[in-house]
Amino acid sequence: MFAPFKRAGLLAALLLSTLLAPAYAADRPEKLVIGLLPGESAPTVMRLNEPLRAYLEHKLGLPVELVVGANYAATGEALRFGRLDIAYLGPVTYILQSRRAPLEPFARPSHEIVGPTFQAVVIVPADSPAQSLADLKGKDVAFGDPASTSGTWVPRYMLAEAGLVSDRDYSLRVLGAHDAVALAVVNHKADAGGLSMPIYKRLLKEGKIDSKAVRVLAESPAIPEYMWTFRPGLDPAFKEEIRKAFISVTDPEALKVFRAESFIPCVDSDVDRVRNWIAAISKDRPDSTEIVK
């Protein structure tokens, strides 16, 4: 006589467990979907990361797909909502997106001499009269994506340290990508520009910008490297497979785009320095993070 009540209780328990279950699938996917930031044009980003894609496909034994986001926020949001399995996020993108979801960083590139860090630069046309960042007062300064660490936030921090606040002391121009910033400065379409030093050096090496047309005005402090990051709810066993695959990379071609000797483990606190820089910028411009949401 108690069977109907038992069945009802069981159904209620199953319904409750379904409602409380994570909103993300926790099975090993049939393919690994990797998100990349559009620091340069999508075809360039795809080409440069193809060796890593091929390595992971072989190592993990399943198809690997690369996806370049329309912008930095789009890549971060796609990871947060489970449309990507892992993504290569700059510190700022990671910090802002991890405020809304339990993202988990697991690996980052490490370089000869400088370790897991890189730098940004502020460049000017070769014939610019500017000799210091303070000389950019009243000028047009070009930046990359609004959420780019080395293409926007660190250069803005450098300018803030020189006493210059965006939209008060200089005009902030958003161009979306590092190469677009470099070209704008070379062609005198901006008085200065902030971008990643590694990308700047590669653009010079590949002859995409004229070395005689531009010069570095200032270099940034060491910036914590980008981090490979898991989406919420990814199967723990599969996460461990991915983690081991990255940490064991020795293929020079797979590491080349990152200029890395290897990938090393990382944790959330590795980007605390960048959190301090965001806070410093937001002190003068409280609306700073609104444009990247």
* CB-based contact 84:238 (threshold 8 Å): no
Q: How far apart are CA 261 and CA 249, in angstroms?
A: 9
* Tokens encoding 226: 């980008």
pLDDT value for 24: 46
Sheet-wide strand order for 171-174: 171-174, 140-143, 192-196, 120-125, 214-219
> Do residues 155 and 86 lie in contact, with contact meaning Cβ atoms separated by under 8 Å?
no
Residue 289's pLDDT is 66
Phi, psi of 160 (to 5 degrees): -65, -40
Count of other CB atoms within 10 angstroms of residue 267: 11
| CA atoms within 13 Å, Cβ hemisphere of 180 | 16
pLDDT at 26: 57
Domains of the chain with CATH codes: 32-112+224-278 (3.40.190.10), 120-221 (3.40.190.10)
Q: Output the pLDDT for position 268.
A: 97
The answer to whether residues 242 and 106 touch, using CB atoms and an 8 Å cutoff, is: yes
Q: What share of the chain is helix, strand, coil (3-state, %, to 5)?
A: 45, 20, 35
Residue 168: the pLDDT is 95
Q: Report the alpha-carbon distance of residue 79 to residue 115 in Å, rounded.
A: 26
What six digits make up the tokens of 26?
């926790």
Q: Tens digit of pLDDT per residue, the chain (293 long)?
A: 434 434 444 444 443 333 333 444 457 889 999 999 999 999 999 999 999 999 999 999 999 999 999 999 999 999 999 999 999 999 999 999 999 999 999 999 999 999 999 999 999 999 999 999 999 999 999 999 999 999 999 999 999 999 999 999 999 999 999 999 999 999 999 999 999 999 999 999 999 999 999 999 999 999 999 999 999 999 999 999 999 999 999 999 999 999 999 999 999 999 999 999 999 999 887 777 654 54
